Amino acid sequence: MSAENETVPADETVPADETVPADETMTVTVTVDAPVEAVFAVLADPAAHAAIDGTGWVRDAVDPAPLTAEGQVFRINMFHSNHPDGDYLMANQVYILDAPRVIGWRPGQEGDAGLEFGGWTWRYDLTPVGSGTEVVLTYDWAQVPSQIREFISFPPFPAEHLTNSLRHLGELAAAPAV
């Protein structure tokens, strides 16, 4: 596996403006006390994702280069006690990126056929509000196929995990640059 981020063509299975039924998404909105550019910079930094994570599953970035383009792939080491191996690797592909307003990715795994995605996505929509930023985090599992749903219940966590993630994001974005 490369330590560099790579870009692969994004397919059209997850259009950026696709509307899905409300029971197949979880959305949380929080206003953070940081400018939109600072919030976006944290989201576009895979090395910050473990600190943002509200579940405790994200460990560290294998590909720490900033996210700059749709189709870019970044890998993250993960851990979940219910995963057969405990530790595992997710290969995430950026499917939307409009700095500094929107960023989203779809998690997957690398297999013999290349990248294979599970059908869920993470999307952050950022809107300036005064000196802060309204952050809308959407976890969408509408495209998860039945063979995956046989083993994983969706959503795999309560909404509080998303709220915790946005709280962490706000703290990181508001922190003074070091």
What are the chain's domains?
A: 25-174 (3.30.530.20)
User: Would you say residue 9 has pLDDT above 70?
Assistant: no
| Average pLDDT rounded to a whole number, residues 39-43 | 97
pLDDT tens digits, residue range 87-114? 667 789 999 999 999 999 998 888 888 8
Residues making up the chain, counted from first to last? 178
pTM: 0.82
pLDDT range class, residue 4, cuts 50, 70, 90: very low
8 Å CB contact between 126 and 133: yes
8 Å CB contact between 124 and 102: yes
User: Would you say residue 165 has pLDDT above 60?
Assistant: yes
Higher-pLDDT residue of 85 and 19 is: 85
